[in-house]
Amino acid sequence: MGRLSGRVAIITGGGSGIGRATAVLFAAEGARVLIAGRRPEPLLETAAAARGVLPIAADVSRPEEVDRIIECCQRELGTPQILVNNAGLFEARGLLHETTVEAFDESMAINLRGPFLMTRAVIPHMLRAGGGSIVNVGSNLAQFAIPHAAAYCTAKGGLLMLTRATAVDYAPQGIRCNMVSPGLVRTEMTAAVWTSPGLAAEVAKEYPMGRFGDPGEIARAILHLASDESAWTTGAVLNVDGGASAR
User: 152 catalytic, yes or no?
Assistant: yes
What is the residue-wise DSSP string for 28-83? HTT-EEEEEES-HHHHHHHHHHSTTEEEEE--TTSHHHHHHHHHHHHHHT-S--EE
Specify the 3-state DSSP secondary structure of 149.
strand
In the set 152, 159, 163, 190, the catalytic residue is: 152
Query: What is d(CA 111, CA 88) in angstroms, rounded to the nearest whole number?
Result: 5
Q: Which residues contact 27 (CB under 8 A, 6 or more apart)?
A: 33, 50, 51, 52, 53
CB atoms inside a 10 Å sphere around CB 164: 17
Where b means 16+ CB within 10 Å and e means fewer, 126-143 reads beeeeebbbbbbbbbbbb
Q: Provide the angle, in degrees to the nearest 10, between the axes of the packed helices 114-129 and 150-170.
A: 20
Please identify every residue annotated as catalytic: 152
